[in-house]
Amino acid sequence: MRTGLLKHSNYMEFLRSVPSFKTLTEDVLSKVADVLEETHYSDGDYIIRQGATGDTFFIISEGQVRVTQQKSANEEPVFLSTLSRGDWFGEQALKGEDVRTANITAVGDVTCLVVDRESFKQLIGGLDNMSNKMYESEEVKARLEAEAVFFSN
């Protein structure tokens, strides 16, 4: 079913306020508003599990989530970050391998706007800050690997 007019205009208003979407045209934002699914979570719910396969992209419209990551199989997940309204996550599994790189859990009530892989690719994935997004843990890893190559030559 097509999104109702009022909902659509509410989504548009919110999407316009997301800093990372600043360069998206009204036309593209309107298409995002058409395809997104609103989802709700309660405190402690797993929105994403590290290691699972996934093909959805999330924008937080209400509430907060925690990002945690297990560095190796027998270690407890460590806290990485808190994300809130206007932040997004889930883009990593949509580029290259489709495996989730971290856990995302709800802190209190959370509402997300969820975009499927195909729509993400067509409408959002081309943004520089999506396609190049690297997190510190990966940057550190990439740097260490580069240094190891450098010093072994």
Q: Least distance (Å) from ligand CMP to the CB of residue 83? A: 7
Q: Does 115 bind ligand CMP (CB under 6 A)?
A: no
Size of the site for ligand CMP (CB under 6 A): 17
Determine which residue in the list 3, 81, 111, 122 makes contact with ligand CMP, applying CB under 6 A: 81
Q: Least distance (Å) from ligand CMP to the CB of residue 84? A: 12
Name the residue among 143, 151, 123 with its Cα closest to residue 20. 123
Name the residue among 73, 88, 72, 83 with its Cα closest to residue 137. 72
Q: Does 93 bind ligand CMP (CB under 6 A)?
A: yes
| 8-47 binders of ligand CMP (CB under 6 A) | none
Task: State whether the Cα torsion 25-115-56-65 is positive or negative.
Answer: positive
Determine which residue in the list 18, 48, 106, 123 makes contact with ligand CMP, applying CB under 6 A: 48
**Structure tokens of 52?**
């699972």
Q: Looking at 10-18, 118-126, 133-141, 145-153, which segment touches ligand CMP (CB under 6 A)?
A: 133-141
Beta bridge mates, 107: 64
Q: Does 63 bind ligand CMP (CB under 6 A)?
A: no
Residue 61 or 92 having the CB closest to ligand CMP: 92
Q: Does 111 bind ligand CMP (CB under 6 A)?
A: no
The residues of the shown chain that bind ligand CMP, judged by CB under 6 A, are 48, 54, 67, 80-81, 89-93, 100-102, 104, 135-137
